[in-house]
A and B are shown apart, each in its own frame.
Chain A
């Protein structure tokens, strides 16, 4: 009886390893903005300002700064170019920090809008939250060191708000009020960062 059952058992158990097929792994790539940011940043760090200026002028950063000029502090693009020409590394870093903070803030605001958009299906709202957070972090993560060097309280506040938002995003009902509140807080922190950094720039041209 036992011997007869063995082939049957084998038939049931044998296909299970077929589930463990290899389907490859995905490593997120840099987009054109983060790539250009790294190119400019590393050129500046190496003291190659002429290279950094050329990369900035021909790259996605400048194009995006121009496209989003209406939502950015005035003169951000021209100021970045001037800082590169002057070989002023801290100023380049500060202006790029403002730019990526603005990108992350806009994403947080858009995420907040979509999470309460009744026209979207609940599933769409549920999946949108984590995806927006991922995009926000991709940009913010680039500038967190620069933020912490200038204003460590803002850096800590941002990290706490992001952790809180991630917690809500992983919850069973991610499109709830908690996530919306956390995203609003992220937007407020980044707006404050942009305002204070831009004010500082105006005081110290």
Chain B
């Protein structure tokens, strides 16, 4: 087998590039629409006082709203950071998988796990941000955990351990 690097499938490259584009667009939108986003989130929270435990006293409620808005903003920032990072992780890891995994099926499964996991995981932060005004910080986090972070993050971790094992195997066979 040659030592040359192989390109990952174009679909995986496209997903990675689109993810990085989404990260950049998301970052820019966060800055451009910061006031509108905050106003929207605050409005939804005020429309769901029971969800956030608002008591109708400004001195108490401002602190609750402030925490939720800080987390809402943090979710958007973390989406921006993770989408940028995971885009690059997809490019790098799928290239390694395309180069080192011999079996077609093994290579395919590995690349699908790395691509889907890497692309899906950052979306959990976006989902969490969107859920905070409607369901609160903790409930929103639980939903994002079970529906996005666990399955997609798990897929990435499984595929990365698999890839690591493959590299070790290659080293041992040399």
Complex: A138 Cα to B53 Cα, angstroms: 18
148-163 of chain B: CB within 8 A of chain A: 149-158, 161-162
Contacts of B6 in A (CB 8 A): none
A residues adjacent to B (C-beta < 8 A): 10-11, 14-19, 21-24, 26, 28-29, 31, 33, 103, 107, 110, 114, 121, 124, 127-128, 131-132, 134-135, 138-139
Question: B residues touching A (Cβ–Cβ < 8 Å)?
Answer: 50, 53, 55, 57, 59-60, 62-64, 66-67, 70-71, 74-75, 77-78, 121, 124, 128, 141, 145, 149-158, 161-162
User: Which residue from B62, B74, B153 sits with its C-beta under 8 Å from A23?
Assistant: B74
Known: A21-B124, A127-B53. A14 touches B59 (CB 8 A): no
> How far is B152's CA from A186's CA once the two chains are assembled, in angstroms?
50
Q: Top 6 nearest A-B pairs by Cβ distance? A: A15-B154, A18-B153, A24-B74, A127-B53, A14-B158, A135-B60
> Could you name 23 residue pairs across A and B whose Cβ atoms are closer than 8 Å?
A14-B154, A14-B157, A15-B150, A18-B150, A18-B153, A18-B157, A21-B124, A21-B149, A23-B71, A23-B128, A23-B141, A28-B63, A31-B59, A33-B59, A103-B59, A107-B57, A107-B60, A124-B50, A132-B57, A132-B60, A134-B60, A135-B57, A135-B60
Tell me whether chain A's interface is mostly helix, strand or loop, or mixed: helix
Closest CB in chain B relative to A139 CB, distance in Å: 7
User: How close is A18's CB to chain B, nearest CB, in angstroms?
Assistant: 3
Closest residue of chain A to B121, judged by CB?
Answer: A18
